[in-house]
Amino acid sequence: MKHLSVCPGMHVISAVLLTVPLVSWGAPALEEVFVTAERRMESLQDVPISIVAFNQEALENLGISDIKDLAAQVPNVQIGEFTGSATTVRLFIRGVGQADVQITQDPSVALYMDGVYIGSSVGTAFETADLQRIEVLRGPQGTLYGRNATGGAINIITREADPDGLRIKQRFNVGNLDLFRSTSLVNVPIKEGVAAVKLAYTTYSRDGWVDNLGRGEDFGIEDRETFTGDFHWNIGDTQELNYQYGQSAIKDTSRLSQTLGFDPAGGPGAALVVFENPAVNANGQPVEATGDRLDKATAFDEQLKGDVQIHAHTLNYAWEIDDILTLKSITGYRDVNAFTQNSQVPSASLQGLYSITNGITDTSFNQFTQEFQLLAETDSFSWVGGIFYYEDEGNETNSGNSNGSENIPPGQKIDYTSTKNKSLAAYGQITWTPHRLDDKWHFTLGARYSEDERKAYRDNSRVSFGFGGGPNGIPAFQANYDQDFSKFNPGFTVDYDLNANANVYAKVVTAYKAGGTSQRSTSVANFQEGFDPEELTSYEIGYKGDLADSRVRLNGAIFYMDYSDYQQSVATGNNPGERDFVNIDSADIKGIELDVSVAVTDELTGTFSYGYLNSGFGPETITYLGLDASAPGGLSQRTEQLTDDLALAPKHSATVALDYSRALSFGVFTANINAQYQDKINSGVSEPTGYLDKRTLLGATLSVSEIQLGAGYGELKVLLWGKNLTDEEYFIGNIRQTGFDLLGFTDGVGTFGDPRTYGITLEYEYF
């Protein structure tokens, strides 16, 4: 059942959407899906990984232009912005992810763009002008994807320049909230069949949907530009080179994070002026807070637009040495400079002394990656081996009204952190298909050895912490962190072909995430000690099959994942923003994933995807050192009760969709209706915690495509789309932790997802 191509860069076949398959005309049948999840082109049905793949048409029809748009489209996958930061994305797969985003800690889900690993979550909400496909790999990918793929990996693949013909594409998208997106693309062959250049430009803007009655911009504005230039060169019959330059500018404002409950008797909170619609009580009298989504609010600090500038270079080279061997080189450089305002709780001051608005952040981050791969395929063996090198440097300055007393001028409240990291890894994976077993059994053995060097420096000497810099404030300090880590991660998989169209597999894989420290640490001791790596071992069995003459596709997986030294951010200071990381001894996650596609007729396709997670911790409590001015050394032990479930790990999540396609005399009519369900989930792992309530989001599209404008004049496509059609109010972030009670917040702080959005898309394409 294996269908392999050892060089995915040569004549790449587009993947189709797994959850919305295309139907061929004539007898109903589902098309084959191709992915590069294991570094070579393979049929999705042959890869022993739980994967969901989206092709370009599906991405456009679903309105997916950045990674956040994937949220709720894939069960057991959570994608959302870090609370209060519009352009910083948190990725969770199977309950594994990075809850507290800091430059001193790595993500737990590996994000790749055209084969290049993206090492920072800052600035990952970028637009992409010409996507070819997105692959979501659920479960640890420790062998081929490395140290920070304990939850899984997401591959973003853009379309390369095509030497075979001229291509022009113009796409306009307008909608409510004054949404406007324009994508312009031109692909020009330099020499037919040999070399080509492609240029693409996207500009996108959308008004904020929460009006700011105070100073500055509205909440939730999106303002982005993206340019990419791509050069492709086929060097003879056996080599190819592809260079891409990408530039993105993101000038969003943060979403409103609103108070959900307010106790006027809650100590200093009695003086809090709550930003409630329609009026703000400027006399210190409490105003009732609400759990309903607000459409107006007052920012007491000026609401500013961010300014995130991204420059990226990617160079991919492939050489088919002979019929067996292929050598690949993947080189990447990425530079991010980000000015953001992290407005978690717009508020007035507490008795003129304290503001919990997180203030201004300036982040600079650059990375370099180099990977060499050697792929081979013989009659009974296929293997890939590689060497991976990664280095980054970053620095971040938090200033403005960040966790400081109001009597210090904003420009003087500066908390500075710098990082410098290196990683070197060697890996290999070999699959043996013995002929004596009728070519039905496939045994895969993989391993990766990683070495990581992590350094950090922090200077908070110009920050006054605590309420007015009181006796329990954090002492000013300067400190260095310098730790090295190494890890060997093996994995083993066996899969068996039941017949030409179905197989089963069983696998044991391991992965690890490097240790580090906290840029919001409360003491020299905690900063210098940092936290240990976390490790994960996953056991999984799965089935993949095309049934009923390829009219039904059924893919399923059952898994158990065992965590050790789970990394968790805890409040160690005077408020929830003053934090360190600790390791929790053990945690486990059990789950199920099921993807079903049915070609009901040659015009109608139905799909259903379901995810189940059951997670928990071994210990019931965690103990760690927190700030205590009265204790020797300024630290004493604190104990927190752990939640029953891990954060952002819904017990049940599902998507369902119907697709209808029919040929017309002047084009092709398609219609899609889809719904995404997600169960109630924790937003944290220590009690008390916030919750994201269960939600069901409904979307739909109608389109007419392939409208011919005459021979040689190209074709048109018209698309009507709508998201969250029932205008459901739902959280994408919710914070409820000890410390907010001191401010009178009884139900924490919540960030809502988008209201109902809708629009029309007009596209012209010449090829």
CATH number of the domain encompassing residue 670:
2.40.170.20
Q: What pLDDT digit, counting tens, does each position of 312-326 carry?
A: 999 999 999 999 999
What confidence category does residue 257 fall into, taking pLDDT thresholds of 50, 70 and 90? confident
Instruction: Give the chain's domain count.
Output: 1
Please check the confidence at residue 28 and state whether its pLDDT lies above 80.
Answer: no
The confidence score (pLDDT) of residue 259 equals 73
CA distance 483 to 528: 9
3-state secondary structure of 217: coil
Element (H, E) at 661: strand 652-663
Torsion on CA atoms 249, 145, 65, 704, rounded to nearest 10: 150
| 42 bridge partner residues | 4, 35
What confidence category does residue 737 fall into, taking pLDDT thresholds of 50, 70 and 90? low
Question: Which of 450, 454, 449, 512 lies closest to 484 in space, CA to CA?
Answer: 454
Residue 626: give the domain boundaries.
4-766
What confidence category does residue 375 fall into, taking pLDDT thresholds of 50, 70 and 90? very high
What confidence category does residue 131 fall into, taking pLDDT thresholds of 50, 70 and 90? confident
Question: Which of 200, 206, 250 lies closest to 225 in space, CA to CA?
Answer: 250
Highest mean pLDDT among 268-272, 515-519, 557-561, 657-661: 557-561
Q: What pLDDT digit, counting tens, does each position of 617-665 carry?
A: 999 999 998 888 788 877 889 998 999 999 999 999 999 999 999 999 9
Return the HEC string of 106-152: CCCEEEEECCEEECCCECCCCCCCCEEEEEEEECCCCCCCCCCCCCE
Higher pLDDT, 477 or 242: 242
The confidence score (pLDDT) of residue 766 equals 95
> Whole-angstrom distance between the N-terminal and C-terminal Cα of the chain?
35
Whole-number average pLDDT of the chain: 85
The confidence score (pLDDT) of residue 733 equals 84
Question: Which of 32, 38, 2, 26 lies closest to 14 in space, CA to CA?
Answer: 32
Element (H, E) at 484: strand 478-499
Task: Give the other-Cβ count within 10 Å of 711's Cβ.
Answer: 5
